Structure 1
Amino acid sequence: MKQNQSFMSWLLLFLHLFLFTSSSSSFNFLCHDDESSALLQFKSSFNITTYSIYCDETASKTATWKNGTDCCLWHGVTCHTISGHVVGLNLICEGIKGEVPIQISHLSKLESLHLSQNDELVWKETTLKRLVQNATNLKELFLEQTDMSSIRPDSIDLIFNQSSSLVTLNLQKTGLSGKLKKSFLCLPNIQELDMSWNNLEGQLPELSCSSTSLRISDFSDCQFNGPIPQSFSNFTHLTSLILSRNNLIGSIPSSLLTLPHLTYLDASYNALSGQIPNVFRKSNRFQKLDLSYNKIGGLLPTSLSNLQKLIFFSLSNNSFSGKIPNVFSGMTKLKEVYLDSNKLEGQIPSSLITLTQLVRLDCSYNKLEGSLLNKFSKFQKLTDMRLNNNLLNGTIPPSLLSLPSLKNLYLTNNRFTGHISAISSYSLKELYLCGNKLEGNIPKSISNLANLSDIDLSSNNLSGVFNFQHFSNLQNLVSLSLSHNSQLSLKFESNVNYNFSQLLDLDLSFMSLTEFPKSSRTFSKLGYLDLSNNKLSGRVPNWLLESVDSLAFLNLSQNFFTSINLISRENDQLLGLDLSYNLLDGDLPVSICNITSLQVLNLAHNKLTGIIPQCLTSFGSLQVLDLQMNRFYGSLPSNFSNDFLHTLNLNDNQLEGHFPKSLSRCEGLEFLNLGSNKIQDNFPDWLQTLQYLTVLVLRDNMLHGIIANLEIKHSFPSLIIFDISNNNFSGPLPKAFLTKFEAMKNDVTESEYMMNSAYIPTLNDNTDSQFVEKPWYYDSMTTVTKGIKITMVKIPTVLVIIDLSRNKFEGEMPNVTGELHALIGLNLSHNRLSGLIPQSMGNLTNLEWLDLSSNMFTGHIPAELTNLGFLAFLNLSNNHLVGEIPQGEQFNTFSNDSYKGNLALCGFPLSKKCGPEQHSPASANNFWNEEKFEFGWKPVAIGYGCGFVIGIGLGYFVFLIGKPRWLVMIFGGQPKRRVNRRRTRVRRTNGLTMNQMVQMS
């Protein structure tokens, strides 16, 4: 009884104290005055800017921060429930602008500080140091995307070292730069450390005195170099290590892969090498392994079978070779396997096809071969399979085309044969079978795949008749390509209203089509239409240019169209129009000026006449105007004013008059071809100021006069092709030009094709429905090689040429010619040049053809010319050369025709023997180490690839001029060089006929 009374007394006392405390709290704030004052001073020191679109916050937290209120009730502020001290401050994504005030260090009881994603919040070194020193209980510090650019890396070491309370430190994207110490940071309790996306230098820090409890470490995108430190293996609790996008070298330490808790390893985008350590058996808790985008080589280790808990496995973009080991049968939890972009060979192992949990499999861009076994039925969860760009053959297994979850199937660029079986994978979105040897009909079952967005069956041997209406059932269809199936016929029914409501990209080129639907309502969103290389004839359908408001690129080249319908209304959507290689005749309708948005207009190789409309040269958006090989006459347009014009090709017309000086306003001009016209004028000196001009062709006109040596500081700095042949120029060779051709002085080590910078938006075959760009137009030109005129539809950037032949130039050949080290071809024939051939010509080691014939050169042939190891064609005929012909190297391959008309020459290959007094100076390099030309496998291999059928033409070209180095560089695997802004970004090369690539006249 007494115990109960005592208990009741204590209970009454507790209730009394509780009521007193509650009553008192209505008058006293929990927050401490000094901390409230510090927070208000912090707020007053910055401004609030517009919130980031990446932030979830809808209102400013600091709007609730008001004097006279309890700071523990302010948004973003957390107080200790008993002491009332501020222990947490969260202003993430607050839009703070200004410098962090020193008063923040007064919050000495802080345990957690979140100021991330305030890009304009600036830290001073003293402020950060004072905060870390005073806040001795600070466990979480998130400063991601704040501005710490003024803080030196060695100061970071001093600021945070011995911060015994820090568990989490995030300094991602803080603008830190400079070199870190090798023994960077000493954090005894650290568990999560993020230094990513900074511009740090030197080697990865050792972290040797930091806590072995470190679980997550991110040093990605920091420019670190050197090897991965062995000390990382000491962090036995490490679950995630991210080292991607650095400059790391060496191999991955084998001890790293013994860490018992490691679930995420990303060392992608580095320069790592060596073999993957063969110690995976000790890492039974591996869940994710990503070593992609390195330069790791060697064979895949067979001990992969020990990773039985692995979920994610990526070795993509490395240099692994050999076979894929058949070790996957025990790895039953694998969901994602990425072995793409290596050098793997052999068949796909059977154990890989038994993984029932597999969701994604990518073995693309290897050398895998053999047939696919019909054992895909276990892949019930597979959504993405990519086996493209291998050497796989046989038929496509029906079980692969009936997987219930399959969304993306990429089998492009293999050697699959046979028919395409019925497809019942109703979840399928992307189907890429391009570049195989598939034959027979397109299965009608394809029309039942309601989710299909992308179909590419191009470059196969498909045949039969397919009703185009079947495709219109696919209401989600975005991209369709059936090109390069010449035996495949499409049936278009006139009484059917096709409805492609989502179609953006349609490629039906190279199909021998004779008809096409005649209604704009068929393609309400069509942006890209390619009907080139077919048998379409008559007038260009009016609705194509008039009624499809979305159409941006229209390619009707290589058909039999005879006329263009008038364009009655303004069109501000069409960006590219290609009607080249047709039978268009008559005047170009002035109504074409209504297409004000044009970037590319290609009407080349037709029979168009009349005067070129002035509007075409004043379009503000026009990048390419190609009217070559027509019958246009009259003067050139006089009102050029377009900074974006990159290519102007009016070659082979009947244009006359003078050069319009307004061309100098086109400051972005890169390609100018006015050859084979009737222009009468002096050389347009003002063209020298065009800094990006790469190709200048004025050949076969009526140009005359002396080319003045004007004192222009940067004269033609980008020029690599200079052809003014077959005119009436006189006086000395333009030495000032030769001196300032800077782009011709640099030796060329890479090659690609010259092309305009206009691109077509198209679906990328390596990502899920992501738009990329593919080239729309390649520059083309006619050049004379080995005395034969050749038209090239693609110009290699290594084709560096000077052709001044068939003029009236006189005087000596300048020594500076020998400084143009990138020259591939030099033609000075049929002029009045005299004096000695400069010895400096021996420096042109890339030269492949040299024509100095029909001049008045005297003296000996310089022995230095034997240094020209790539020289395949030499013509020194009809000069006044004397003495013995040099011997050795390529000179042992030239015939009598190279020297005829030089009566005082002697020695091999001429029948005239040399006497003692006729010997020329000894050859500087007389040994023979160059193989003679043979017609081997390379010309044939050139043509190998999806949709690319010009190999025979190129093979003939190789045979013609003798194994040209520039051609071998393009197709022989050497790296590529970028010239100016012209780049080739082609993933799938559109096919070209031999007549397009090589046209002989």
Structure 2
Amino acid sequence: MAWVLLFLHIFLFHFPSFSSSSSYSFNFSCHHDESSALLLNKTATWQNGTDCCSWHGVTCDTIYGHVIGLDLGDEGLDGILQPNSTLFDLAHLQTLNLSSNDFSNSHFHSKFGGFFNLTHLDLSNSFFKGEVPTQISHLSKLESLHLSENFDLIWGETTLKRFVQNATNLRELFLNQTNMSSIRLNSINFLFNKSSYLVTLNLKSTELSGKLKKNALCLPSIQELDMSENSYLQGELPELSCNAFLTTLDLSDCGFQGPIPLSFSNFTHLNSISLSENQLNGSIPSSFSNLQRLIHVDLSFNSFSGQIPDVFSAMTKLQELNLASNKLQGQIPFSLFNLTQLVTLDCSHNKLEGPLGNKITGFQKLTYFSLSDNFLNGTIPPTLLSLPSLEHLELSNNRFTGHISAISSYSLDTLYLSGNKLQGNIPKSIFNLTTLTRLDLSSNNLSGVVDFQLFSKLHWLFFLSLSHNSQLSLTFESNVSFIYSRLRILYFPSVNLTEFPKIEFPRLDSLDLSNNKLNGSVPNWLLEISGSLNLAGNRFTSIDQISTQSIGTYYSSSRNINQLGGLDLSFNLLAGDLSVSICNMSSLQTLNLEHNQLTGIIPQCLADLSSLQVLNLQMNKFHGTLPSNFSKMSALETLNLYGNQLEGHIPRSLSLCKGLKFLNLGSNKIEDEFPDWLQTLQDLKVLLLRDNKLHGIIVNLNTKHPFPSLTIFDISGNNFSGPLPNAYFEKFEAMKNVAELVYMTNNIGQLGLNNRANPVSIRSIAPYYDSVIVASKGNKMTWVKIPNILVIIDLSRNKFEGEIPNVIDELQALIGLNLSHNRLIGPIPKSMGNLTNLEWLDLSSNMLTDVIPAKLTNLGFLAVLDFSNNHLVGEIPRGKQFETFSNDSYVGNLELCGFPLSKKCGPEQYSQPSLNNSFWSDAKFGFGWKPVAIGYGCGFVIGIGLGYCMFLIGKPRWLVMIFGGQPKRRVKRRTRVSRNHGATMNQNQMVAMS
């Protein structure tokens, strides 16, 4: 395609001139051959016979008339730029701008290397692809090269080396968002340290990896350096000591570690520094006080510790300071409040403490202020609530007390005060904040009566949460109708609501009225809300008959209809049959009716809802058979029918639900063989079939990789027989990969930490957590939000026979293993000592023989052990965790001796005890892995201790030993689990049942 076919059309009439001059004095007209290269066909704006030097976007030499500049940036050009394009005939070009167009599938042709006079080339964001040709090194006069945001443009090391060596006048080099993955880091120093004129270098998001040398970027004239978003970089921050004129430095979102080098304090010309999202530690250097020209400082999302030093007071020009998500402690220096130019201050997610002080008057230009997730106390200063420019104020999850004073910051857009200990009434001044869009006062001790009608004055409000203020009451005027036209997210759980009248919410996406005192029948108008509806923990007794005609009619005149996507009516008083009219909600994605008194048969039509992803009907009184008509169109990910009275077979059509991740059919009356046909489900992570009437031998293997994602396998309390399913132990791939599970756990909770751009976006998600009801010795509890690293096999209380296979040691990620109350024989495999992540092990009530392998003392995290009621002999191994277990772990093994038993070891004289016919009685079975579950809200180790003590009445000695003897590496990992799981549980998520 000729060049003219790409861009010589009517739009070029509007091109701005690339030259700074708007008029020309020509000795010669535009050359005919160059005019022809630009114009092959007559257009409305570039007309044949006119001087092309007068055309917009064209710059000519004022002496000879040669075309020396083309500025065609951001003009909507598209198509493939061919090598034979007449563009490449413009041999005198000095500046060429083709940026922000769409040349998809066009290669960066070697013909560009023919523009020998080119000083400025901008091809950024134009979708060029392929390798940068070596001919680019011919552009020796280049002063500025912009190739950024061509994601499929690939640099070779030789090409880059030649180019940098030849372009000795280069001052600006923008390669961000190109592919430099083949460039060796040890060659970066050689490539750029000879660029004595380079002023700007942008290597952002170029896929660089490896360890950067400290002197790798010694650029004597550099002023702006950006290497951000290269997350595979390693090592410490480069020294950059020879970059004396540096003004802008961005090394954010890389893999740098260690402290900030002292050399950084020499950058006295620096006005912007960003080191966020690395793994930096240590303290903020006091020498930062030398950097008095700083305007922008971002050290967020690192591990800086210690106090905030008093180094920022000298930065009188500072406009943005971000220290969020570190480990900073102590009080906030009052000198920060005197930075009069500050626009943004974010110290959230640290460990700061103490009061804020009563006078915060210096922030006259402050628009964004966040101190959330710290330990700050005292009252909220009234002066903070009257700053004239303040738009975003976030003080959530601290320890502030007292009343909320009058608010006169009338430019407020966002006000987050949740998770404190604030008292008293909601100030009336809040209802004068007409620009407010987000208001969160949840989880405080607010009281008084609030007329909901007042919120109608906040015309721009789209997020409102008053939840968990137990002394707060809401009133509604039934005779007055208001339209809350912009409100999309409304959270009112735990505010003592006894009624919620019909209110028009044309755009509501999420309504949470859980844990209140609402009763009666759920009205149809509530079921017409688009998005999610949470009515859990109320006193509703029934759901109104749902008809196809009623769904979505209430707001039909004010918006496009989106039917209800999520309905949670768990922990209510719903009784009777579940009407098939529930299936009229054709857009339903989540249906949670657990812990009610529903009876009858589960409607078959629920299996036909192609949009349904979560179906939780556990702990009801459903009987009959399971829905059996699941199809390939099903989007089902969670099916939880635990604790009902269901009978019959497990429907084979479940194998068609290819996205199924969680299947809990436990504690029913299902009578069937093991559903081996489920092994083809690639995403199935949790399979619980405990306490049914399942039977037979587990032998079927129909696929090469059965259950590849399974991490919880519980078929306890059935009538399975034959040998243990060794073939499965060999194939449970997800239970072998420890590193992947640790990675998943360490990244839990990252979502939502860096949500400054739209802090409410995370809050708008209505969460659903898969739950497991576990039982031991007559006690039941609900365990919600299962940790990703929880890897469990429970085959207890069956009739399995034979020996424990050695291959079980391949399941390196196992946390809990329960094979108790079976008919297993032979020795305990020594290979079990390789299960180094194991935290509880129950082999009790079998016929195991021989000695306890000494290798089991390698299990350094083992907190709960039960070998009782077997035929084990010899001396109990000593060392590590085995020093913490009590007699209960070994009772019923008559030939065992040594600590902690009172029986001392003597000569080796063993005799096999006789079998007891009552040996298999369910009345004798001991703990399972389930009691441990109660502790996961407080961390693995504490949880195991609590669960064990509660259900075994264990002695405290072993608990003390555990806290004193856990390896440091493991404690750190467990702390992460506690923070990411336990800290987020609320009253809805952990409910004890007995």
| TM-score normalised by L of structure 2 | 0.84
1:826 partner SS: strand
**What's the counterpart of residue 64 of structure 2?**
83
Aligned counterparts of 2:433 and 2:286: Cα–Cα separation in 1: 40
C-alpha RMSD of the superposition: 3.7
Q: What percent identity do the matched residue pairs reach?
A: 56
2:474 equivalent in structure 1: 490
Instruction: Give, in whole Å, the separation in 2 of the partners of 1:698 and 1:858.
Output: 29
C-alpha separation in 2, matches of 1:955 and 1:430: 43
Higher mean C-alpha displacement, 179-188 vs 969-978? 969-978
Per-residue CA shift, 1:404-430, capped at 9, x if unaligned? 111100111222111111111111110
- Residues 5-20 of structure 1: pairs in structure 2 closer than 5 A: none
Deviations 1:718-773 (A, max 9, x none): 1111111222222222222122111122236756999xx9x9x9998622466346
Q: Secondary structure at the match of 1:412?
A: coil
Gap change, CA 1:622 and 1:753, over 3 Å in 2:
farther
Shift of the 689–825 alpha-carbon distance from structure 1 to 2, 3 Å rule, reads same
Q: CA 1:915/1:351 → structure 2, altered by over 3 Å: closer, same or farther?
A: closer
Contact 1:709 1:736 in 2 (8 A): no
Partner of 1:373: 357
Q: Secondary structure in 1 aligned to 2:449?
A: strand
Say which of 536, 561, 567 aligns to 2:546.
567
Displacement, 1:889? 3.2
Residue aligned with 1:470, SS: helix
Report the alpha carbon displacement of residue 29 of structure 1 after superposing the two structures with TM.
9.2
Q: Deviations over 1:585-606 (max 9, x none)?
A: 0011111111111111000000
Is residue 602 from structure 1 mapped to residue 592 from structure 2 by the alignment? yes
- Tell me the residue number matched to 2:119: 139
| Cα distance between partner residues in 2 of 1:845 and 1:911 | 29
The 8 Å contact of residues 214 and 236 in structure 2, kept in 1 or not, is answered as no
> Is the partner of 1:974 in helix, strand or coil?
helix
Whether 1:166 aligns to 2:145 is: no
Q: Is the 8 A contact 1:35 1:107 kept in 2?
A: yes
Equivalents in 2 of 1:766, 1:74: separation in Å? 46
Offset, 1:361: 1.4
Is 1:92 equivalent to 2:85 in the alignment? no
The Cα offsets for residues 634-674 of structure 1, whole Å up to 9 and x where unpaired, read as: 11111011442110000111111112111110011111111
Amino acid at match of 2:378: G
| Secondary structure of 2:738's aligned partner | coil
| Partner in structure 1 of residue 669 of structure 2 | 678
Is residue 196 of structure 1 aligned with residue 187 of structure 2?
Answer: no
| Partner of residue 989, structure 1 | 984
1:697 is aligned to 688
> What is the Cα deviation at residue 396 of structure 1?
0.6
Deviation at 1:433, TM superposition (A): 0.9
- Aligned-residue offset at 1:377: 2.0
Secondary structure, counterpart of 2:511 in structure 1: strand
1:30 CA displacement: 2.7
Match of 1:10 in 2: none
Distance 2:367 2:381 in 1: 17
Following superposition of structure 1 onto structure 2, how do residues 224-623 of structure 1 map, counting pairs within 5 Å?
224-225=208-209, 226-227=211-212, 230=215, 232=217, 234-236=219-221, 238-246=222-230, 247=233, 249-253=235-239, 255=241, 258-259=244-245, 262-278=246-262, 285-516=269-500, 518-521=501-504, 523-546=505-528, 548=529, 551-568=530-547, 569-570=550-551, 572-623=562-613
Go from structure 1 to structure 2 and tell me whether the alpha carbon gap of 1:839 and 1:293 turns closer, same or farther (over 3 Å shift): closer
Q: Deviations over 1:214-248 (max 9, x none)?
A: 33221111123443774755443x44222211226
The corresponding residue for 1:22 is: none
Preserved CA contact (<8 Å) 1:122 1:146: no
Other structure's SS at 2:824 match: strand
Query: Matches of 2:969 and 2:565 in 1, distance apart?
Result: 30
Query: How big is the shift at 1:502?
Result: 1.1
Q: Deviations over 1:853-886 (max 9, x none)?
A: 3322233333333332333333333333333333
Which whole-Å CA distance do the structure 2 matches of 1:818 and 1:763 have between them? Answer: 38
CA distance in 1, matches of 2:314, 2:975: 43
What is the correspondence of 1:751-770 to structure 2 with a 5 Å cutoff? 766-768=756-758
Q: 1:51 maps to what in 2? A: none
Q: 2:717 maps to what in 1? A: 726
Amino acid of the residue matched to residue 91 of structure 1? L
Match of 2:618 among 614, 620, 628: 628
Aligned pairs for 1:800-811 (under 5 A) are: 800-811=791-802
Match of 2:648 among 657, 660, 664: 657
1:256-284 CA-to-partner distances (Å, cap 9, x unmatched) read 5631xx43222211233444455677655
2:34 — aligned with what?
35
Contact 2:215 2:238 in 1 (8 A): no
The letter of the residue matching 1:141 is L
CA–CA separation in structure 2 for the residues paired with 1:325 and 1:911: 60
Partners of 1:68 and 1:735 lie apart in 2 by 87
Larger mean Cα displacement after TM superposition, 370-379 or 406-415: 370-379
The 2-side partners of 1:545 and 1:984 are apart by: 35
Q: Deviations over 1:479-518 (max 9, x none)?
A: 11111221222233333334322111111112232222x1
Aligned to 1:792: 783
State the shift of 1:578 in Å: 0.4
Letter aligned with residue 224 of structure 2: S
Displacement after TM superposition at 1:355 (Å): 1.9
Equivalent in the alignment of 1:46 = none
Q: Note closer, same or farther for the CA distance 1:972–1:750 as it changes in structure 2 (3 Å cut).
A: farther
Q: Report deviation, 1:90.
A: 3.0
2:896 is matched with 905
The alpha carbon displacement at 1:819 in A equals: 2.1
Structure 2 CA distance, aligned partners of 1:555 and 1:34? 73
Matches within 5 A, 1:851-930: 851-918=842-909
Shift of 1:138: 1.4
Q: Residues 867, 167 of structure 1: CA spacing in aligned structure 2 closer, same or farther, 3 A cutoff?
A: closer
Distance 1:807 1:814 in 2: 17
Shift in Å, 1:910 = 3.5
Distance 1:588 1:726 in 2: 29
Q: What residue identity is the alignment partner of 1:875?
A: D
5+ long unaligned stretches in structure 2? 1-24, 553-561, 912-933, 952-957
SS of residue in 1 equivalent to 2:525: helix
Shift of 1:303: 4.1
Give the structure 1 partner of residue 558 of structure 2. none
1:971, distance to aligned residue in structure 2 (A): 11
Q: How many residues align?
A: 909
Instruction: Tell me, in whole angstroms, the C-alpha distance in 1 between the residues paired with 2:714 and 2:665.
Output: 10
Superposition TM-score, scaled by structure 1 size: 0.83
What SS does the aligned partner of 1:739 have?
helix
Q: Specify whether residues 764 and 558 from structure 1 end up closer, same or farther in structure 2 by C-alpha distance, changes over 3 A only.
A: farther
Partners of 2:249 and 2:743 in 1: how far apart?
36
Amino acid at match of 2:212: P
**Counterpart check, 1:107 vs 2:97:** no
